[in-house]
């Protein structure tokens, strides 16, 4: 983590839900620039819902999500596009476009938002793939690569426009421990070397201990944050028994 204490994302009084059912109530937290921030909690507590609100996919019932000082909830048109250009998102199963090879998947946003010549875009796409160690698979189709490779390719695609913030939805779910750990290394390296802020939704404990600078923990019953802090601290010192259970993997 770089020594930088600027707040890059601020979530204020966010209440979110589907229809009449509230999933999260009145949540407040901040993410600092350059840190690896993990959102965690038990199954069905609204982690992914919270993330979808943070990237502006779903409109909240009330509250604000400020990304670099700008509210993504109310932003429209060009303003919203400017905010979205500053973030990259990796979806749970990669969400790579099945009809395009990896290079084309990455070039898509570059074609949309820059005037770079074709060979420059391809070069940038190859650079991104190299960073996630996918060099050699540039011209493969998403259906020809494994699940772990798809996730890495999705990270490469999310980085196409040099975003300051990367959102990762369950990056290590469904991966073997070695691949999962390589992915963790990649996240740490990208954070250190490029200063990218990471917001990660996960409940894989080993990966949380390894990468997280700070976590927030959501609770299904109170529909709010029950713990914030460093994972090691929470494991050893939390006054909430459920939190200690979670971090110690007890039932």
Partner 1 sequence: MIFVDYKTNNGELKITLKGRLDAVFVSKVWHETINKLASTKPSLLEIDASGVDYCNGAGAALLLQLKQKQENENRQFSIVGLRKDFEQLINIFDPGVVSENTKKSNSFSRFVKDAGRMCYRVLSDTKTEISFIGELISKLIVAFLKPSSLKLSDTFLIAEKSGANAVGITCLLGFLIGMILSFQSAIAMQQFGAQIYVADLIVISLFRELGPLITAIIFAARSGSAYAAEIGTMKVNEEIDALVTMGIDPIKYLAVPRMLAGIFMMPLLTMFNLLLGLIGCGFVMLSLGFSPVVYLNRIQEAATLGDLAGGLAKTLVFGLVIAGIGCFRGLQTATGASAVGDSATKAVVSSIIAIVVLDGVFAVVYYYVGI
* Stretch 163-192: interaction string toward partner 1, x if CB under 8 A: --------------------------x---
Residue 98, interface with partner 1 (CB under 8 A)?
Answer: yes
Nearer to partner 1, 135 or 236 (CB): 135
Residue 51 parent element (H or E): helix 47-54
Distance CA 163, CA 89 (A): 10
Distance CA 155, CA 144 (A): 17
Residue range at the interface with partner 1 (CB under 8 A); choices 41-49, 118-126, 224-232, 234-242:
118-126
52: CB partners within 8 A, 6+ apart: 58
Q: How many residues does the chain have?
A: 251
With tokens 């601290």, the residue in question is 233
CB 138 within 8 A of CB 126: yes
* Single residue of 19, 77, 117, 241 touching partner 1 by CB under 8 A: 117
Residue 110, interface with partner 1 (CB under 8 A)?
Answer: yes
Residue range at the interface with partner 1 (CB under 8 A); choices 30-38, 52-60, 130-138, 228-236:
130-138
Residue range at the interface with partner 1 (CB under 8 A); choices 41-49, 141-149, 167-175, 243-251:
141-149
């Amino acid at each position: 983590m770089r020594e930088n204490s600027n707040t890059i994302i601020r979530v204020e009084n966010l209440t979110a839900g589907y229809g009449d059912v509230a999933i999260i109530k009145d949540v407040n937290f901040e993410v600092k620039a350059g840190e690896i921030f993990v959102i965690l909690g038990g199954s069905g507590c609204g982690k992914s819902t919270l993330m979808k609100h943070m990237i502006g996919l779903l409109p909240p019932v009330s509250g604000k999500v400020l990304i670099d000082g700008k509210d993504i909830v109310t932003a429209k048109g060009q303003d919203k596009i400017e905010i979205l250009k500053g973030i990259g998102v990796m979806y749970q199963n990669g969400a790579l476009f099945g009809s395009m090879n990896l290079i084309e998947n990455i070039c898509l946003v570059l074609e949309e938002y820059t005037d770079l010549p074709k060979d420059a875009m391809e070069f940038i796409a190859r650079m991104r793939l190299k960073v996630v160690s996918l060099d050699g698979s540039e011209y493969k189709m998403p259906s020809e690569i494994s699940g772990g490779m798809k996730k890495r390719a999705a990270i490469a695609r999310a980085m196409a426009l040099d975003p300051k913030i990367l959102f990762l939805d369950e990056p290590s779910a469904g991966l073997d421990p070695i691949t999962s750990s390589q992915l963790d290394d990649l996240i740490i390296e990208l954070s250190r070397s490029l200063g990218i802020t990471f917001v990660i939704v996960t409940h894989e404990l080993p990966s949380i201990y390894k990468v997280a600078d700070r976590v927030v923990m959501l609770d299904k019953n109170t529909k709010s944050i029950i713990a914030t802090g460093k994972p090691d601290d929470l494991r050893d010192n939390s006054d909430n028994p459920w939190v200690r259970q979670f971090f110690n993997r007890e039932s």
